[in-house]
Amino acid sequence: MQPNSRSCTGVFVAPVCPMHDDQSIDEAGIESYLRWILSRTDVCGIVVNVNAGEGTCLENEDRSLVVTIARRVVPRHVKLVAGVCGNSTREMILQTKQAEAAGADAVIVVPVRDWQNSRAPGHAETLYQRLGKSTSLPLIVFNSVAAQFDTNTLVRILETVPTVVAVKQAVTDIGAYQDQYRAIRRARPDVSILSAYDAALLPTLVIGADGVLLGIAGLLPDIVIGMFNAAREGDYAKARTFADQLAPMSHYLYGTPPRSLRHVRTKAALKRLGIIASNMVREPLLPLEDAERRKLEKAMLSAGLIEPASVLASAA
């Protein structure tokens, strides 16, 4: 990872969205939580309204509100990225315009339907072209675990949509990550590659990445920042130490079925640490049941985030 002129570099954090117990947006809670994240000077971007922030469960009014709240807290030298995740191109264009009006610096397209990652020539490209023409904001492609672009489709998007500035690579196959890394570099050397595979973050950083974009960075920002900086400096022994620290929570949050609980678990962990006031999520998601909370405590204990005595006190 060498210095370059790409516009999205460093650690991008995808925070959760604090809510009140009635599932309404907790404005003060969001501000406080974001200030906690931004107290780290190495945070380069905040990415709201994506999966970690329950963006697919929020109404458009709430989505705009979250961007507005974040803009009050996020300084201008830190990029504020908003997720768009509508069920149609028209809705995503509307969300993009609302995000721009609320103060976002860029938008990332969150795949919520199979057609958004269609391998049929022209479908995905047309979506990104429509969005690109609707806004002055730069676009970030989201290559997700659940709906991954094949390399040809990804390259066609990059070649036909000049306003794309970055690709979030949540690619779980390391060989595929490497192939697409090379393809992106050939097609658009100016486009930033943001690694987003929590469970194998270090190998992707060794292959190459301009930055990372992770939900777990909203829970363990110091570990993610430390690993990224160590890898960028070529100190892979130090980076492995951070990877070992990240592993217990990464495995529990993202590697333990059901996958739909990954950000519910993150909220519960943040509440357990006293960073947010409530673990409430937006239905159809539901807060953790007792059995799942016990698994969370075990993972947090293994990661050194809580003390054994506090586990006993919590269970009492």
Q: Residue range 157-184: average pLDDT?
A: 96
Residues in the chain: 316
* pLDDT tens-place string over residues 71-128: 999 999 999 999 999 888 999 999 999 999 999 999 999 987 766 666 778 888 999 9
Residue 3 has a pLDDT of 40
* pLDDT tens-place string over residues 201-210: 999 999 999 9
Instruction: Give the domains, in start order, of the chain with CATH numbers.
Output: 10-235 (3.20.20.70)
Residue 313 has pLDDT above 90, yes or no: no
Q: Residue range 186-207: average pLDDT?
A: 95
Q: Residue range 152-163: average pLDDT?
A: 95
Q: Residue range 33-49: average pLDDT?
A: 98
The half-sphere exposure of 220 on its side-chain side, counting CA atoms within 13 A, is 23
Residue 222 has a pLDDT of 98
Which is higher by pLDDT, 307 or 270? Answer: 270
Where are the strands (E) in the chain, listed by range?
10-13, 43-48, 79-84, 106-109, 139-143, 164-169, 192-195, 211-214
Whole-number Å distance between alpha carbons of 300 and 217: 15
Residue 144 has a pLDDT of 85
At 148, the pLDDT band (50, 70, 90 cuts) reads confident
14-18, 172-176, 212-216, 227-231: segment of lowest average pLDDT: 172-176
Looking at this protein, which amino acid is placed at residue 311? V
Residue 201 has a pLDDT of 95
Among residues 105, 110, 32, 41, which one has the least CA distance to residue 73? 32
Whole-number Å distance between alpha carbons of 56 and 86: 8
Which is higher by pLDDT, 298 or 314? Answer: 298
Q: Are 249 and 243 in contact (CB under 8 A)?
A: no
* Angstrom distances, CA of residue 44 to CA of 13, 37, 60, 155, 267: 8, 11, 26, 26, 22
Percent of the chain with pLDDT over 90: 84
Q: Are 155 and 164 in contact (CB under 8 A)?
A: no
Residue 4 has a pLDDT of 52
Taken in order 92, 95, 99, 101, is the CA torsion positive or negative?
A: positive
Percent of the chain with pLDDT over 70: 94
Strand partners, 109: 84, 141
List Cβ neighbours of 112 (8 Å cut-off, separation of 6 or more). 56, 85, 86, 87
Q: Residue range 180-207: average pLDDT?
A: 96
Whole-number Å distance between alpha carbons of 300 and 253: 10
Tokens for 220? Answer: 């363990």
Token pair 């370059």 is found at 4
Strand partners, 142: 168
Residue 87 has a pLDDT of 86
Q: Please, is 101 exposed, middle or buried when counting C-beta atoms within 10 Å of its C-beta (0-12, 13-18, 19+)?
A: exposed
